[in-house]
Structure 1
Amino acid sequence: MSEKKVTVRQEGKEDKVIDAPEGAVFLQVLKMNGYSLVCCNGKGTCGRCRIRFCRNGAPLPGAADRIAFTAEQLRGGYRLACMHRVRQDCCIQVEFVESRQVEAVTAYKGGITKPAEGKPEEKAMPGGDEPYIIAVDLGTTTIAMQAVALSSVREWQRGGNLHVFGEYSCMNPQRQWGSDVLSRLQAAADGQAEKLAEAVRTALAEGIGQLGRKLGKAPQGIWAAGNTAMEHLLMRLDTASLGRYPFTPVSLEEMELLPEPEYKGPRIGLLPGISAFVGADIAAGLLACGFGERREESCRLFIDLGTNGEMAAAGKGRLICTATAAGPAFEGGAAANVPGTDMIALLAEMLETGIIDESGLLEDAYFEKGWQKGALRITQQDIRALQMAKAAVCAGVELLMEALEIGASDVEQVFLAGGFGYYLDVEKAARIGLFPAELADKVTAVGNTSLLGTCLYGGDPSLREKTKDLCRRSEVMNLAEQPGFEERYLARLNF
């Protein structure tokens, strides 16, 4: 195979000439030569691996390029590095869009706690003698930890506060293999499973170590909850069956992580999950919101929004769960790096001012380059991505209620969970149709229920059997197999 000369330019760096094999993907060539980029999954969907060809040497744009760039940018030589291969000597300018650092939300609020606002009480370690546990929310995007006084878990259940001795959070280092679960499952299938496991284990060790050093003693236990794929990757379980139908996990049971054979530290336990797509993080959230109690008389909904959208409905003695892929839609547009909550607020504003119509179409003046407000730019692509995600969530909620044979008037409360939900303006979310309009006045944004549920599970053994029972009795609905889902989904695309 012949080699081609690729001259690489990047602001702040000297030009570099690389000998690249003909046919190699530009993104891989750049990564191998020190031009790193986190989050691109190599499928042309995130729009972050931007390069600009110099001297009119750009290849013909593909479909992904036409979505990511304006016509003017395409004429200027902009292309996605993951979509094109080296065919000749060329010169490129690296224009990578680094993904926005996401703050891990550890707080919770509203409706799930007795104290005002449900804010954990920061408390100094009293002489280093009070036992504590560490709870871990192993998210696809972020990892969040809390060191919590063991005695306060029972206090919380009697109406007191959780006593939080310390917190730690970081971005999930597995993002270098892609921002979504499917990209990481594909990376594991391609022989990267051990590196994926090692990356997240190192991050966990760093956080646990920092908290332990701060508090001067080891925790009595460490408990973690993540979606099913994240837990499988952490445990080095075979993930092949998670990436193909019928999506069968190796295990959904509570598991114990032994980092190394010589490990002498506290037990590290992983919470049980419900299905391949409704994991332990959701089981923890349901526990935190009281779904472990069988209440015949009240109907409640639970919605957790992140890189996936998981939903549950409880009532009439049943608990039904489902999930839908959201991708980066609730995290904001790739080009603009607009936080998802800001994205929804801006879309509501754009609807009110007529910049977009009910179908989500931008006015002609903004169609090609997008609409700008300050440093934030929203493109037609960003709008469409959010429309598809919110339509799937709304349709999923409606189908859950239909399965329980209940209407909006029967629903007592809707818990909107996750870091996205913590900052969300519920009124604006209702305006764009994230959930059925009739439920708007029943929605409460509750924050990181996964972390809270993990604290409860780890701190009170009596709640563990209740959580396992919750997992066992949960019915799982596959939205794609539900009659009428596609029609309902299409009907909910409009704002």
Structure 2
Amino acid sequence: MLHKIMILEKWRKAMDSYVNGTVKTDEKTISVRCERGKTLLAVLRENGILLSAPCGGNGTCGKCRVTVSGAVSAIEAQEAHLLHEEEIEAGIRLACMCRISGDFMVSIEKAAMRIETDYRAVPYDLSPMIAKKKEGDMSEFYRDGILVERVLGDAANLGLAVDIGTTTVAVYLCDMETGTVLATRAFRNPQAAYGADVISRIDKIMKDKKALAEQQRLISNAVREAGISACGERGLSFADVRAAVLCGNTVMEHIAAGIDPSSIANAPFTAPTLFGAYYSAAELSFLENEHSILYFAPCFASYVGGDIACGMIAQGLDACADNVLYIDIGTNGEIGLSTRNGLYFCSAAAGPAFEGAHIECGMSGISGAIDKISLKDGKIVFHSIGSGTPLGICGSGLIDAVAVMLETGLLDETGRIVERDEAGKYAAYIDEDETGASIFLIDKEHSVYLTGKDIREIQLAKAAICAGIYTLLDKAGLSLSDVSSVVLAGGFGSHIDKASACRIGLIPRELEDKITAVGNAAGAGAVAILLGGSPREAARTICDKSDYTELSGDAYFMEKYIEEMMFE
């Protein structure tokens, strides 16, 4: 009897350590049960509710804002420093720093994100990864001439092309018989809850080996859901998806394949694999059909991934073009140079500033983000996504903001924001923070501004990318005048004002008239590999004719990097 009482007492204490909570999002309201003492961010992750946390939940970025009521920990100094007084009064907390002490309610507003799915690509002949033949009342499916599946009736032959970006994911449902894209889906990468950049996500994996399986589960489930949704839109069955091509940076591909990428973050920064490989549906959980296959695009190096290979293939730059620069601006600014003598690549560690991370009022390209800033009739004007109340500023807006500051003299060549008495007729756009340092007021009414620290983040990012461009040209024995064109790839590249990019020194000014934005080139390449024989052959051979430069130990790069820190 005493033993039973002891067991019941342990059970009661265990139950007392759990509390109830309600989580409201734009789409749904759910009830959760969790242990006391856990952070809200941990509770949300455990229940499949994804909240962006650019710093990975380390309490440094201040972006994981939620509205909370109920029994939670008191706000402490670090959290209070990252929030405005009116936010604290409204019950807004940082999910990574707010701990559960009793029953609670949390509300999360999810704004729609601007994600690029359109693209431009060179043509190719249709020769799908899986070919279909009709034999009597059976549909037969072949890969490289080998029968892999027989189905009764006239079954569809579908494929998925997936671009797994660090921030966003694009999925293309394709008819492999006709070569057409039937539907697209685009969404935030759910792994963003583990950090805005690949290093943050690797850090989580290094600290907790369960994090690898969790991040892999998040992306595979999200792709499956997107594929099911796209098939449903066209009245098709997800079971008829027989092949998928996945591309992403090297870390994203490792996580998607369930391979630990930790070695990429530690010297000598070697990737366990560079892919260009097929997997069966049984090995990974992206597809439903047990006979289906997945192809992971080849990566050039630890920090130049399959997304760049796919983008280069989509633009026909794998065949050694006439001195064409290919630039994908992101956390790792990946740069390619296609010449008659071969392909050159590098990865410039730009940091997540252009994703809105490490910027005081920074945010992703979602509704409410200021995305365009310009001078009009002597006034600084801006546009926000959705044309609603400005909530912060995204990457394209940051580039415009710095360009306008340089144009108006509010920023000097060293990156110093001038004081109000130096600003002349633009003095109203300068204020001071609590330390007395100058800040640039973009929207005073809604407290959207840039600090000196923000400018430094942008300087570091733009200097890395521009120096990377010069380094590749030097390796190829070329100058700026030898460049015939510049391909700006990725969703972010589609929204950048090229004049602003050149004004701040992100791209050399001499190249401004040669810049063309091509949209989601990586997604275009994944579609091409799925549907075309020549793109698949290009994917097989592209790494053999490439020369990768590791910038961290390159003396020429370091020299140019220091030079390009300055503004002209």
Unaligned 5+ segments in structure 1 are: 1-7, 13-17, 116-127, 154-162
Q: TM-score, normalised by structure 1?
A: 0.78
Q: Which moved more, 1:206-215 or 1:137-146?
A: 206-215
Deviation at 1:168, TM superposition (A): 0.8
Name the residue aligned to 1:325.
349
| In 2, Cα distance between equivalents of 1:294 and 1:192 | 40
What RMSD over aligned residues (CA atoms) do the two structures have, in Å?
Answer: 4.2
SS at match of 1:140: coil
Between the two proteins, the alignment pairs up a number of residues equal to 451
Q: Which moved more, 1:379-388 or 1:199-208?
A: 379-388
Equivalence map 1:22-41=2 (5 Å) = 37-40=51-54, 41=56
Does 2:559 correspond to 1:487?
A: yes
Does 2:431 correspond to 1:366?
A: yes
Structure 2 counterpart of 1:393, from 462, 465, 485: 465
Name the residue aligned to 1:184.
201
Name the residue aligned to 1:346.
401
Q: Is the 8 A contact 2:280 2:292 kept in 1?
A: no
Q: Which moved more, 1:400-409 or 1:467-476?
A: 467-476
Equivalence map 1:271-282=2 (5 Å) = 271-282=297-308
Unaligned 5+ segments in structure 2 are: 1-20, 26-33, 68-73, 125-153, 364-392, 420-429, 434-438
User: Could you say if the C-alpha distance between residues 376 and 266 of structure 1 is closer, same or farther in structure 2, counting changes exceeding 3 Å?
Assistant: farther
Cα-to-partner distance string for 1:410-464 (whole Å, 9 max, x where unaligned): 1111111000111211111111111111111111111110011111111112322
Deviation at 1:489, TM superposition (A): 1.4
Does 2:243 correspond to 1:253?
A: no
Structure 2 counterpart of 1:102, from 98, 113, 119: 113
User: Rg larger in 1 or in 2?
Assistant: 2
Which residue identity lines up with residue 280 of structure 1 in the other structure? G
Cα-to-partner distance string for 1:336-364 (whole Å, 9 max, x where unaligned): 42221122122222222233233332233
Q: Is the 8 A contact 2:66 2:108 kept in 1?
A: no
Does 2:245 correspond to 1:223?
A: yes
Name the residue aligned to 1:433.
505
Deviation at 1:37, TM superposition (A): 4.2
Deviation at 1:387, TM superposition (A): 1.6
SS at match of 1:274: coil
SS at match of 2:163: strand
User: Could you say if the C-alpha distance between residues 353 and 114 of structure 1 is closer, same or farther in structure 2, counting changes exceeding 3 Å?
Assistant: farther
Q: Is the 8 A contact 2:24 2:108 kept in 1?
A: no
| In 2, Cα distance between equivalents of 1:377 and 1:406 | 42
Equivalence map 1:150-165=2 (5 Å) = 150=176, 163-165=180-182
Name the residue aligned to 2:172.
146
| In 2, Cα distance between equivalents of 1:397 and 1:279 | 17
User: Could you say if the C-alpha distance between residues 448 and 37 of structure 1 is closer, same or farther in structure 2, counting changes exceeding 3 Å?
Assistant: closer
| In 1, Cα distance between equivalents of 2:47 and 2:176 | 49
| In 2, Cα distance between equivalents of 1:165 and 1:334 | 41
| In 1, Cα distance between equivalents of 2:182 and 2:47 | 43
Higher strand share: 2
| In 2, Cα distance between equivalents of 1:226 and 1:130 | 27
User: Could you say if the C-alpha distance between residues 166 and 245 of structure 1 is closer, same or farther in structure 2, counting changes exceeding 3 Å?
Assistant: same
Name the residue aligned to 2:160.
134
Deviation at 1:231, TM superposition (A): 1.1
Which residue identity lines up with residue 172 of structure 1 in the other structure? N
Does 2:217 correspond to 1:198?
A: yes
Does 2:557 correspond to 1:476?
A: no
| In 2, Cα distance between equivalents of 1:324 and 1:51 | 33
| In 2, Cα distance between equivalents of 1:30 and 1:165 | 34
Cα-to-partner distance string for 1:21-54 (whole Å, 9 max, x where unaligned): 6xx98976998899984224134543325699xx
Cα-to-partner distance string for 1:304-340 (whole Å, 9 max, x where unaligned): 0123210011224121111123333112345242221
SS at match of 2:346: strand
Structure 2 counterpart of 1:408, from 477, 480, 485: 480
Name the residue aligned to 1:15.
none
Q: Is the 8 A contact 2:467 2:557 kept in 1?
A: yes
User: Could you say if the C-alpha distance between residues 367 and 80 of structure 1 is closer, same or farther in structure 2, counting changes exceeding 3 Å?
Assistant: farther
Name the residue aligned to 2:313.
287
Q: Is the 8 A contact 2:242 2:289 kept in 1?
A: no
Name the residue aligned to 1:302.
326
Structure 1 counterpart of 2:448, from 377, 387, 395: 377
User: Could you say if the C-alpha distance between residues 176 and 98 of structure 1 is closer, same or farther in structure 2, counting changes exceeding 3 Å?
Assistant: farther
Name the residue aligned to 2:389.
none
> What is the identity percentage for the equivalent residue pairs of Structure 1 and Structure 2?
33
Deviation at 1:281, TM superposition (A): 0.6
Equivalence map 1:451-470=2 (5 Å) = 451-470=523-542
